[in-house]
């Protein structure tokens, strides 16, 4: 039974190079089948993406860097709503890995600007999770700054405790840090 290897490269030049025959023995060679961006159709509508989520992901990886790549990225994000979280994370990572910095920035700007309404529960969930993590990190940094400005020493174990705290706990500590006369007052229960 013959073996067929199919590979994808988001760069046409790499795809062309990778299709070169490989010498596997005297008088024998083998060549993989490689698809580059030119061999991947552009998937730009939500309907197309929903019908073939994996193709939408490949299209985003292949065409997301192009000047007209935004509709391809939007379609792929829509498709992620209809795959399970495990696949969605892998697919999202594949898209991001294929994008250059400008396209990654455009994708992030879409999320921040409100120009793009994420319809995918996957995207909404993970964007909300990222925002919550950012807010928690910001509160932790604020707490350390207030403690330091108030003249309290913040050693590594305390920094670690602060970094692992919930946003609710950080807010409670931050409120206490403003008026505490000793660092122990901030972190005691009650």
pLDDT digits (tens, 9 = 90+) for 102-152: 888 887 676 565 555 555 566 667 777 778 888 889 899 999 999 999 999
Residue 79 pLDDT: 85
**pTM, two decimal places:** 0.57
What is the percent of the chain with per-residue pLDDT over 70, rounded to a whole number?
A: 91
Q: What percent of the chain has pLDDT over 90?
A: 44
Classified as helix, coil or strand, 52 is: coil
Report the run of H or E that residue 34 belongs to, with start and end: strand 33-35
């Amino acid at each position: 039974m013959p073996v067929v290897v199919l590979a994808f490269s988001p760069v046409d030049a790499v795809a062309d190079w990778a299709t070169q025959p490989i010498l596997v023995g005297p008088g024998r060679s083998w060549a993989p089948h490689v698809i580059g961006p030119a061999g991947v159709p552009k998937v730009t509508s939500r309907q197309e993406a929903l019908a073939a989520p994996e193709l939408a992901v490949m299209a985003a990886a292949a065409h997301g860097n192009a000047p007209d790549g935004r509709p391809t990225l939007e379609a792929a994000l829509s498709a992620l709503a209809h795959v399970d979280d495990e696949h969605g994370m892998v697919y999202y990572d594949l898209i991001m890995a294929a994008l250059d910095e400008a396209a990654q920035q455009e994708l992030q700007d879409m999320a921040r600007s409100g120009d793009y309404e994420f319809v995918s529960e996957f995207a909404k969930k993970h964007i909300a999770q990222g925002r919550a993590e950012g807010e928690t990190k910001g509160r932790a940094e604020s707490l350390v700054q207030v403690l330091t400005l108030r003249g309290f020493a913040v050693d590594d174990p305390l920094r670690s405790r602060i970094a692992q705290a919930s946003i609710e706990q950080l807010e409670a500590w931050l409120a206490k840090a403003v008026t505490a006369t000793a660092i122990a007052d901030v972190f005691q229960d009650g």
